[in-house]
Structure 1
Amino acid sequence: MYIVDLFTLKKITKKMRIAIEAQRIFRKNKHGMDFVALETIKELQKLDTANEYFIITARGEDCDIINETLNFKIITINCPFYPFWEQIALPFLLWKIKPDLLHCTSNTGPVAYRQKMVVTLHDVIFLEKRSAPKKSIYQAFGWYYRKFIVPFVLKNCAKIITVSDYEANRINEVTGIDNKMITTVYNGLSKHFIRRENPWSISGLYIPDKDFIFFLGNTDPKKNTDNVLRAYAEYVSSATENPLPLLIADLKREIVDSILMKNNLSHIINLVYTPGYISNNHLPYIYSAAKIFLYPSLRESFGIPILESMACGTPVITSKRSAMPEIAGENAILINPDDHYTIAGEIRKLLIDRDYYASKVEYGLKRAKYFSWESTAERLKSIYESM
């Protein structure tokens, strides 16, 4: 004879109405947090056919990357100024659809919202002391906006999700929020990041050389661009054969040239290629063609590019700081990002020592397999249903 608690049964089987704020997933030139939200939503669509989802976005050119399904409705809000979009238009929409749970995916959220809310706090860099001022107005505004908004939002959260154990500890240290409120959900790795045969058909669109060194930079000081260029110049100066050129994504030519001039490195200008933004579907070919990927950041909460490069069979030189050792693993090439001589030395070692190079390729391919968006989506679904 089975005795069933009808209240418990009702609670377990109740279909949830879940709103996911994914404001930037339709923009053309997506970056880290945009891809995290997009890939997670795609996997949730495959995984969860029971709960009802409302994916809330802003309008954008790339609106065909995800489609509605029976239980996934996409709602776009047309509001050009992001603070108004988040603090006025989003709460008004939420008042209309009345979700059981709101998940804000990119650090911030509506301050005045008082219903059940989860926030993915990717990092608390904006609450830490800045190593250098932001070089773009857009980044500076975003930094101040988050610094002002996030402390208020966190007070209203039922749960805080972050992307590494390192960052979970930093959130606790910086905000004083109890660790029990903070949950780590690792980012995943998209399946199209695999070793590509004949990658030069795509990499040739960005750099004429078949062999090159790759660096993903931007104007954020944490990307350590100045020291990367110093390290590359040091490698060039000691190269016994023709040095490999350096391909830099996401940085304009004039910014790179100004850094080179400031550091008296103008002699390497002709070896540095700066095509600007490289689309996500082209990146696997770039990683596959590159001999080495440089990622010696000063501060990262996760570091998806580390795994992308590893999955494409290209060794990564990254930092032994913040979350990078946690994600790259103990057998990765972990260096002091302040020491450009060490970075240059690792470049030389990889290019000279074939056994060392092969061991790092093999290690990276194995390490990348530990991360998937399916696992990320499963963890999120579990969190949603536990609330």
Structure 2
Amino acid sequence: MRIVFDARYIRTSDTDVLPAGGIGRYSYQLLRRMRNLDEDLKFLLVVPAGNGRPIFPESDMKIREVSCQFPANSFSTLYRLAEKIDFCGQDLFHSPFNMMPGKLPCPSVVTLHDIMWLTQPHLCAGFWPERVLVGALYQKGIRTALCRADHIITISEASRREIVRYKPEIVDRISVIHHGMESFFREIEQERVEALLAPLWSQIGMSGEKTTREIILCVGQGSPYKNQARAIQGFLGAFGKRDDIQLVVVNRFRRFDWKMRRLLARERAGERIILLDSVTDEQLLALYNRARIFLFPSLVEGFGMPQLEAMACGTPVLTSNRGAPAEISGGCSLLVNPENVEAIAHGLVELDQNEELRCKLIAAGRKRVQDFRWLDAAEKTMAVYQAVMRISG
């Protein structure tokens, strides 16, 4: 079987693989496992122009690469990709990031992580010009995928329900395949945690007793669905009178947010809340281990990988009582209404002060992460490929 896989979320330098965000990690981890599942399986990877080394330099002719000049998320992907890639002899195309090109000459599979741009665009971007311009692209890409893909993979039952509710006729050609969990995220020694964080604290000008405060950690990006404004309000409601605890917000992709700016302008709020535009993977690992609580109050998610990463690092999680966050938590997180600031604040206090609950959730979280394996995801994805090929003849 010959697969064209759009791997443009996986960038490389001359020495390293640099997956971009959750979709990049998803693509890379799937490919790592799938390439070894079947001796007859061959991949043609569409990679971003400017990549350094190959994604899998040790591979022989099982994996080839072809570079693409235009961005993954672009109208050029929708209208020109099929013309730019030589599909001769290829059996199937897989897009792992919501965008399905038109005029493909072979069967296709698309991974729809969510359809928020169709159902709740106001949660995708708070800045209305971005919502209109970027929304037009994503809405076209997702609608094309829903109409033209031979099979749709999504990553949670919550996402599947939302997709089927939006387009009921695709119910027989959609599968749920959960993400796996990377072994990189794990519990590490306290000495290493402090050593990894020392350069980060120095970089942002934090020193002295501030570096020893307890941490409530948020990881995500600035889109409204991440609910960071309520996370900050909940934190201030829970710990506003305490100087020994601070909120650290890691924004993997910073977006302009007036509401956030107003919150941070409140008296002393800026001293208690640390916004980090980006951190290295090792610094993120250290932050998960250092955190007393991981706060993940998303309004909507396709999956919600950060809460599993926190569980793997032995940190108790406070998350939403709805959708994918509740599903993926599997009863191993404290659930609250993400639209209720008082509920978030109460949950934070409970998880900080109730040692029995903390121990219970930490132990349950360690077991929960073992349910998510990338090899399982790869095998199920391969089964989808095979089913599509059988149906397509």
Give the alignment's TM-score, normalised by structure 1.
Answer: 0.87
Deviation at 1:253, TM superposition (A): 9.0
Match of 1:159 in 2: 151
Which of 34, 38, 41 aligns to 2:28? It is 38
CA distance in 2, matches of 1:98, 1:203: 50
CA distance in 1, matches of 2:332, 2:24: 29
Q: CA RMSD in A?
A: 2.5
Opposite residue 44 of structure 1, the aligned amino acid is M
3-state SS, counterpart of residue 121 of structure 2: coil
- How far does residue 190 in structure 1 lie from its aligned partner after superposition? 0.9
* 1:361 and 2:355 aligned: no
Tell me which of 38, 44, 52 is aligned to 1:48: 38
| One-letter amino acid matched to 2:114 | D
Partner secondary structure for residue 368 of structure 2: helix
Residue equivalent to 2:216: 213
For residue 119 of structure 1, report the CA deviation from its aligned partner: 0.6
Q: Distance in 2 between matches of 1:335 and 1:322?
A: 12
In structure 2, the CA distance between the partners of 1:157 and 1:66, relative to structure 1 (3 Å rule), is same
Question: What is the CA-CA distance between 1:146 and the residue it aligns to?
Answer: 1.5
**Could you say which residue in structure 2 is the equivalent of 1:200?**
194
Using the TM superposition, name which of 120-129 and 196-205 deviates more: 196-205
Where do 5+ consecutive residues of structure 1 fail to align?
1-15
| Structure-2 separation of matches of 1:304 and 1:60 | 28
Show the counterpart of 2:377: 376
Q: Which moved more, 1:323-332 or 1:205-214?
A: 205-214
Q: Post-superposition shift, 1:307?
A: 0.6
CA contact (8 A) 1:231 1:340 kept: yes
* Distance change >3 Å, CA 79–CA 374, structure 1 → 2: same
Is 1:225 the counterpart of 2:232 in the alignment?
no
Shift of the 223–133 alpha-carbon distance from structure 1 to 2, 3 Å rule, reads closer
Residue in structure 2 matched with residue 337 of structure 1 by the alignment: 338
CA distance in 1, matches of 2:124, 2:100: 24
User: Could you say which residue in structure 1 is the equivalent of 2:269?
Assistant: 268
User: What is the match of residue 169 of structure 2?
Assistant: 177
Cα 1:256–1:87 change in 2 (3 A) is closer
Q: Distance in 2 between matches of 1:259 and 1:234?
A: 16
Instruction: Give, in angstroms, the shift of residue 251 of structure 1.
Output: 6.8
CA distance in 2, matches of 1:347, 1:100: 51
SS at match of 1:368: helix
CA contact (8 A) 1:195 1:312 kept: yes
Displacement after TM superposition at 1:88 (Å): 4.8
Q: Aligned residues, how many?
A: 370
Deviation digits for residues 205-238 of structure 1 (CA, Å, limit 9, x no counterpart) = 3345243111113221000011011011112225
1:74-130, Cα deviation, whole Å (9 max, x unpaired): 222123584354135521244444410001110011122242001111111111033
Q: Which moved more, 1:133-142 or 1:148-157?
A: 133-142
Question: What SS does the corresponding residue of 2:222 show, helix, strand or coil?
Answer: coil
Question: CA-to-partner distance for each residue in 1:132-159, whole Å, 9 max, x for gaps?
Answer: 5714666754332111232223222111
1:247-258 equivalence runs, <5 A: 247-250=248-251
Q: Secondary structure at the match of 1:49?
A: coil
Distance in 1 (alpha carbons) for counterparts of 2:276 and 2:132: 24
Q: Identify the match of residue 119 of structure 1 among 80, 100, 110.
A: 110
Q: 1:68 to 1:89 in 2, by over 3 A?
A: farther
Structure 2 residue identity aligned to 1:34: G
Alpha-carbon offset, residue 243 of structure 1 = 3.4
Residue of structure 1 in register with 2:15 after alignment? none
Q: Quick check: 1:26 aligned with 2:11?
A: yes
- SS of 1:74's partner is strand
Alpha-carbon displacement from aligned partner over 1:310-365 (angstroms, at most 9, x marks no partner): 00101111001111111001242111001112212222222222222111111111
Contact 1:68 1:74 in 2 (8 A): no
Q: Distance in 1 between matches of 2:258 and 2:114?
A: 30
Q: Which moved more, 1:184-193 or 1:75-84?
A: 75-84
Structure 2 portions without partners, runs of 5+: 13-17
What letter corresponds to residue 100 of structure 1 in structure 2? Answer: D
Distance 1:163 1:251 in 2: 20
Among 180, 194, 200, which residue is 1:188 paired with?
A: 180
Question: Do 2:229 and 2:259's aligned partners in 1 also have CA atoms closer than 8 Å?
Answer: no
Task: Measure, in 2, the Cα distance between the counterparts of 1:252 and 1:115.
Answer: 34
Q: Which amino acid aligns with 1:50?
A: D
Distance 1:89 1:41 in 2: 24
TM-score in terms of structure 2 length: 0.86
CA distance in 1, matches of 2:90, 2:163: 27
* 2:268 match: secondary structure: helix
Percent identical across equivalent pairs?
A: 24
Aligned mates of 1:111, 1:253 — CA distance in 2? 31
